[in-house]
Chain A
Amino acid sequence: MLKKLLMFALCLCLLVSGLSMTAFAGENTTYTYTVSVDRNWIRTQDAYMSGSVYLNGFGLTAPRDMFYFGRELYIADTGNARLVVFNIDSGATRILGEGILEEPSGIFVDTDGTIYVADSKIPAVVILNQQGEEQWRIERPTNFLFNELSVFEPKNVVVTSQGNIFVAGYGSYQGLMQFDRKGEFQGYFAANKRGLSPFEALQEKLLGEKAKENLLNRIPRAIQNIDLADRDMIYSVTQDENKAASKIGSTTKIENYLKKHNMTGLNILSRGGSMTEEWNFTDVAMGNDGNVYALTQSGLLFEYDYAGNLVFSFGGRAVSTDRLGLFTKAVAVDVDETGIIYVLDEERSVVQTFFPTEFTLLTHKAVNDLESGNYATSLETWSDLLKLNGNSSIAHLGYGKTLMYQGDYKGAMEHFKICDNKEYYSQAFWEIRSRWLNENILYVFLVLIIVVVAAYVVGFLKKKGIIKVKEKVAKKKGKFAQEIENIKNMIRHPLDSYYEIKIKRRGSILSATIIYIIAFVVFVLDLLGRGYLYSAMDIRTAPITLIPFIFFIPLGLWIFGNNMIASINEGEGTFRSVYISSAYMFAPYLLFTPAAVICTYVLSLNESFIVTILWLMGVVWTGVLLFIAVMEIHNYTFGEVVKNILLILFFMIMAVITFVILYLIWTQVVAFVGNFISEGVYRIFGV
C-alpha cells in the first residue's frame, strides 16, 4: 500500500498552469515583458522571435560558452575537451583544440582571429590561432602579486583592444585577474563587495578577530561571467547563490548583479538607481546599439539600454517540453552584427536564436536617436512606441527625456511622473522653478518685504497695547482648548509640562485622544501627502488598510507596556498619566512634519537635506520627549528609564510573536484534524 502512496507536494510556486485564458498572443512561444510605469511587469508587443536551432544532435557535451566572430559561433564543447566552430551560413563545423584543451569553459576571439580559451582544468588561458595551433598560454602567475593561496581556475576571458587580458576565475573572489599582453599578472580588477545577512552582521559585532578569520564564507562572490563592452569597458555578472538556497537567509543586496566596469573597475551602469535584474544571471553580451543582454540560468533574457534601464525581458524555461525559445540550462549568450541573439543551452547542447521584430528595431532606433541628439526624429519614434505600449516605463522615460532636451519641461515632467523617475522629474522641476523665480523674483521679494513689515507693525502695535482683542479671546477659551494649547508648552518646557500632568492632573483623556488622532492624521499626511518628489508611497498602490495598524498597534502596545512595566518596576505614573503624557510627546512631530511636507512641494531633490532635517527634528525631538516622559511620570533615574524602555520594547516584540504563534498553531490544528479524518475515511472505507 505504501508503495502506491505517491506523495506530491502542491507547492504553488513551482507549478505553472499549462493553460491560460488568452487565446490570442501573436506568434511567439513566450510573452515579452517590460517594466510598467507602476514598476510592475507588464506584457508588451513581441520583441524577439525565435529563429533556427543549431547543432541539435551534433554531439556537443555540456558546452559552457559561446562566442560570435565573423559569421561563426565558437563553442566551448566542455565535456568533449575541444572547441567546435559552427558556420552560421553554411552549417559547416570544424573542430579545434583537441588534445590541447582539457575543460574549456570560456572563449574570446580577438579582432585578428586569435582565440583565447579559458580552461579551468589545465588550468590556463590557452591562446590558439585560427588553425587551432597553440600560440602560447597563460598559466598560474608566479609573480609576487599573486597570493600562493589564491585559486587559479580560469573560467572566461576577454581581451581589450590595448591587449590587456582579463580573466574571470572560479572562486576568484578578489575580482578579475588582469594580465598584460605578454601574460604578466598585473593584479586584480573590479572585486565584488559583500553584503552581510542579519546573522552575519551580529557575528561581526560579537566575535573577536581570531574567530572571524575562521569564517570562510565571509568572502565576496566571484564574478560569474564577463563580456567586453564598448570603449574597452567590461560587463560582468555576479550570482547570488544564497538566494538560490533560500529567499529568507539571503544577504542584503548592496551591489547590482549586472555591472559595467570602467578602467578603474568601478560600476558605471545604473549607479544610484535600482536595476530591474535577477540574482541568477549567468552570462552577459554587448548589443550593437549600446544595449546589453543578460541571461539567467532559467533561460530569461533581459535587455537593457546604455543606462541600465530594462527594455525587454523574454524567453523562459523548458522543463519537459521542446518548444522554441525555451531553455533547460542556459549558459551563454552572444549577439551578431544584425542583432540576432544566440543562446547556448548546456543541458540540451543546442544553440537557439532570436531575432528582433520591427517593434524592437523601432525601440533601438528611438534609443539611438535620443542618445545622439536627434530629438526631432526621436520624438516621433517615441510617440509611436507609446502608441504600441502606453504603459511601458522605458517609452515614457524616452519620450520625457526628448521633451526635456527640447525645452518642454512641463510635458517632460508629466511623463517622468508617469514612469516614476524622480531624478529626471526633479531636473525638469528645477528648470521650471528657476524659470518661474527668474520671472517673478521681484514679486517674491515684494511679498517677503510686505510680510516682514506687517509682522513688525503688528508686534509694535501689540506692544503699545493698541491691539488687545487677542487676550480676551484667550481667556474665553475653554479648558479643552487650553489643553490642546499645552502642546506649545510641551516644546518649550517639557519637564514642567509633564510635572503638571502628573501632579496637577492637567490634560484629559479626551484631549490626549484627540492629539493621538491628529498625530495619526499627520502620520498619514507624511506617508501619502508628500509632494511627488519626496513621496515614498503612491496613494494608488499604498496598503491603505495597513496604515492604521502600523500606527496604532505599536502605539497601543507602547502605552499598555509602559503602564504594565512601570507598575512592576515601581513607577509612579498611573494609566491616565501614561496615556496623556504619551500623547504630548507628539508635539514636535506635529509641528515639524507638516512643515517638512509643505517643503516637499517646492523643493527639488537638490535641496532634499532641508526636508530631511525638518523631518528628523520632529522625530528626534519626539524621541527625546518620550524618554523624558518616562522619566518624569514614573520618577525614574536615567538608568531606570533605559532599562524600562528596553523592557517595554521586549514586551512589544513578545506580544507580536505570541500572536503569530497562536495563529499558526490554530491553522496547524485545523489541518491535522482534516488529515486525520480523510486518512481514516480512506483506510476504513477505501473510497
Chain B
Amino acid sequence: MKLNKRIIAFCVMLAVLVASVLSVTADKTSGSAVGNIASDLKGLSAVEVRSSRHTQYDTLSSEVVNLLTLEGFEEKFKNENFSVYFNEDIAGIRILDHRNGYIWGSIKELEPDDLSTGWTEMAHSMCTVEYFIEGNVERKISISNRKARTSYDWSDDSVVCDVNFSDLGIAFSFKITLLPDGLRAEMVEDSLEETGEAKLKALYFLPFLGATREDERSGYLFVPDGAGALIRFTKTSSYVTGYSGKVFGLDMGIDTLDQANDLQSNRTNDYLVDTPQVTMPVFGVVHGAKQNAVFGVIESGEEHAKIVASPAGVVTNYFWATACFDFRQLYVRSTGTNQGVYQPQDEPDDITPSVRYYFLQGQNADYSGMAVTYREYLKENGVLSAERKDENIPLKLQVIGAEEKEGIFFNSTATFTTADQAKDMISALKKDGIENLTFVFDGWQQGGISGSDFASTKFESKIGSKGDFEELKKLVTKNGGRFYLQYNPVTANDSQIKPSRQAAMSKSNNIAAITRPNTEVMYQKTYFVKPELLFGALDKYVKDMNGFNPSFTGIGTRLYADYTRKNETSRLEALNKTIKYFDEFEKDIALSQPNQYLFPYVDDYFDIPTTNSQYVYETDTVPFLQIVLKGSVDYYASYANQGFYSTNSILKMLEYGCYPSFLVTEADNFSLSDTPLEDYFSLNFEDWRGTIKEVYTVLNSVLKQTEGQTITEHTVLATGVSKVTYSEGTVVYVNYNEEPFAFGDVTVPAQGYTVERR
C-alpha cells in the first residue's frame, strides 16, 4: 500500500508536470536588440519610454461613472443598442448606450461658470458654424443661438434639421441618423444657401461630444497625428494652441506654407522637422480605457476637413476633439508688391460634410479598438485587402545612382552607385542571408535626381543602360524581391521646370513652392507642378518604362489645388483624378506616407511615421496607423542609417511591425558634399553592411512569425513594456527598459523581446 501510495503520488506528480508542460504549448523565443554601440545607457531609456514617443501605461484605470444624466432630455429614437435623447433649449443630444448604460453627451452643466455664452452654445449644440463678415472678420454661431431659426423633422431613426441664420443669410439642413453601431451626422446635399453678406467659413457637428473638464474622468483624446497620438486628460496647463491637422496635408494652393520664425543667429533657420500630416480622417475620445469610447470617421468632405483637438488650457478648461469642415479659407489678394488684403474665397468649396460616430465599449474602447474598427471599416469598403505573405520579411534598400554636383564653372553629374555596383550589393546581402529585398533605385535618370529633366525617362549612361537595369531587376525578383524605380512627377526645382509657367499657382497668386530657409543648399525652392504636368509625367512613365514598377515621390502625400487663371483644379478634383488614375494603373506602386485614399493601390508603404508631432499636450504615440495597415500593406520604417538605428529604434520597429529600410550609396560619405545629398550624412553601403545584417536578423526573427497576420490588440503592460497580439494568436512582447520584465510565465529580456506562438 505504501508503495502504491508512492506510485500514485509519483503518477499524480508526473501527470501534473506533463499537464503543466502541455498547458504551456506556447512556443517562446526571446532575444535582445542591444547593438554593440553604447550599451551603457545609464538609465536614459527610462526617460525615453516616458516621452510622448511611446505609449504610456494606464495607471488610472478606475471605473468611469456617468457624469451626465438624461434630465431635461427627451427620448426621440432608439435601436437595440442606443437611444437618442434631445433637449430643444440647448439643441443638444445625449446618447444612452444600452449595452453598458453609459451616457454620451457634451458637458454636464447647462450653464457652466467657466465658459462664455458662445462657447456654451457650441458645447451643447449639434451643429456650430463659423462665418466671415465685413471682409475677413471671423465669427461663430451655434444652432441653439436665439438668432437661429431651426425646425426638426423626426423619424424612426433620424432627424433632419433645417437651420436658418436669417440675420446672416446662411441656411442649410443637416441630418442625424442612428445606426446599429453609432450615429451619422451629415449635411443634406446641396442644402447650403447663402443670401446675405456673411460667408460660411466652417462647420462642426457635435464638437463637444465626449468633452471632459480637466481630469474629471480618466481617458484621452485620440488624433491621427503621425502614427497616432493620445492627449490624456489632465489638469489645465498653459498652451498656445490646440491640435489642428488638415486632413491629407496642407494645400499648397491656398494654405499658408510660411510661418514666422527666426533663430536670430548665424545658424540657418532650417531647423524644424516637419510635423507628420493627417493621412486618415479619424478622431476619437476615450472615457476610461477599455470602458467607453467614441470614434469618429469622416465619410465625406474630408479633403476640406481639419481634425481639431483642444486640451484643457487652450481657451477653455475642456478637452474636446472633433472634425471641422472648411468651406472657405482666407487668402491674400495682392494689391501691389509685398502688399495685400486677406479675404475669404468668394465661392464656398463644394463639400457635403458627413461624420460617422462609433460608440465602442469594453475591450474595444481604446485606441487599439478604434484602429481595429477603422481597419474593418476600410475592409468593408474595399480599401484594404490581405497582404502578400513572405517567408522572410522584406528589407527596403534604396540606392542612389547619380546626382548633380556643384562645380566651379558648371555643375556636373556625379556617380554614387552604378547598376553593376548595385548588383554587388545585392549579392553581398545575399551572402548575409538577406534575399527578400524591396529594392528602390533613385537617381537613375539622365543628370541625376536634381539634374535630370522634369519627369525624365532616360537612363543615365554613367549608371547603366536600360538593359543593365533590366538585369538588376531580374536579379532582385529572382531572389523573391521587388524592384522599383524612384520617380518624381510632383515636384521640381528651378533647373527642371519654368516655375512661372509650369508650377501650380496658389489662390493668392503665388507660385506654389516650398522654400528652405537655408542658403547653403543647392536648390532652395521646390515647386509643385500643375496637375496636367503631373498626370502627363505619369502617362510618360507608363508609356516609356514598360516593365519597371515605380516608387513615386509626392503622389498621395501632396494634395493641392491649382488656381491658375481660367484653368483651375480644385483639391477635390485633384484627389478624384488621382484615384481614377490609379484605378486603371496596372503596375505595382510604392509610396511614401500616402494618404488613406491611396491605401487600395499601394503595394509598399515607405517611411511610416513612428511618432507624433510631439506637441507638449500629446502624451502618447500609439501605433494606430500600423494596426490599420498590418496584414494588408507592407510598411517600412524611415531609413535606419538616417537616425533610426539605435536599440530603441529597433525595438520600436519590432513593436510597430515595421520592416527596416536603408538608404545607401557605393561612393563614400565625403563625396556627398556640394550635392543636394548633403543632408544625408551617412550613406556608404560598406559602412552599414554590418548594421543592415544585425538589424534585419533581429527583426526577421520576430516579424516573420507575424507575416500575413493583423494586429488585434496593442496594450502597455508597464512603462516601457508593450504587448502586441496578432490575429493568429502570436504575441510579441517588447521591453525598452534596461531591466528584464516578468509577466506571468513570460520574461522579456532587458531591451529585448519575447515572441509567444500558440
Contacts and interface: CB of A to CB of B under 8 A. Distances in A.
B337 A671 contact: yes
Interface string A229-255: 000000000000000100000000000
A586 interface: no
A355 B256 contact: no
A298 B262 CA distance: 8
A319 B261 contact: yes
Contact of B684 (A300, A321, A387): A387
A529 interface: no
Given A6-B341, A57-B237, A42 B678 contact: yes
B264 A418 contact: no
A313 B270 CA distance: 12
Given A28-B273, A539-B408, A15 B517 contact: yes
B672 A390 contact: yes
Given A25-B638, A323-B615, A18 B335 contact: no
Contact of A322 (B267, B408, B517, B615): B615
B682 A389 contact: yes
B50 interface: yes
A207 B249 CA distance: 62
A319 B260 contact: yes
B48 A49 contact: yes
A23 B679 contact: no
Interface in A293-307: 296-300
B701 interface: no
Contacts of A37: 670, 673
Interface in A32-47: 33, 36-38, 40-46
Interface in A357-414: 357-359, 361-362, 365, 384, 386-392
Nearest to B518: A41
A535 interface: no
A338 B688 contact: no
A14 B41 CA distance: 39
Contacts of B260: 14-16, 319-320
Interface stretch (A122-130, A132-140, A617-625, A672-680): A672-680
B516 A678 contact: no
Interface in B1-54: 35, 37-38, 40-44, 47-48, 50-53
Q: How large is the interface on A (under 10, 10 to 19, 20 to 34, 35 or more residues)?
A: 35 or more
A326 B262 CA distance: 12
Nearest to A320: B240
B59 interface: no
A316 B47 contact: no
Contacts of A264: none
B643 interface: yes
Given A29-B614, A300-B267, A23 B592 contact: yes
Given A45-B682, A356-B44, A4 B269 contact: no
Contacts of A324: 51-52, 614-616
Interface stretch (B201-209, B420-428, B605-613): B605-613
B200 to A, nearest CB: 20
A319 B338 CA distance: 22
B668 interface: yes
Nearest to A541: B674
A26 interface: yes
Interface in B628-649: 638-639, 642-644, 646-647, 649
Interface residues of B, number: 98
B50 to A, nearest CB: 6
Contacts of A609: none
B607 A19 contact: no
B557 to A, nearest CB: 7
Nearest to B258: A15
A149 interface: no
Contacts of B315: none
Contact of A56 (B237, B491, B520): B237
A40 B521 CA distance: 10
B514 A322 contact: no
B341 A24 contact: no
A550 interface: no
B451 interface: no
A51 B687 CA distance: 30
B546 interface: no
Contacts of B271: 30-31, 33, 300, 315-316
B53 A27 contact: yes
B135 interface: yes
B263 A323 contact: no
Contact of A10 (B338, B342, B643, B670): B338
- Central interface residue in A57, A339, A679, by most chain B CB within 10 Å: A57
B679 A43 contact: yes
B42 A338 contact: yes
Contacts of B610: 27
Nearest to B409: A544
A299 to B, nearest CB: 8
Contacts of A33: 267, 271
Contacts of A9: 338
Contacts of A339: 42, 44
Interface string B498-536: 000000000000000011110010000010000000000
A509 B729 CA distance: 94
A133 B517 CA distance: 51
6 contacts: A30-B272, A49-B48, A300-B263, A316-B272, A338-B44, A679-B336
Given A16-B258, A27-B610, A361-B41, 12 more contacts: A16-B260, A17-B515, A17-B517, A27-B53, A28-B643, A49-B53, A300-B265, A322-B615, A362-B38, A389-B681, A389-B682, A391-B672
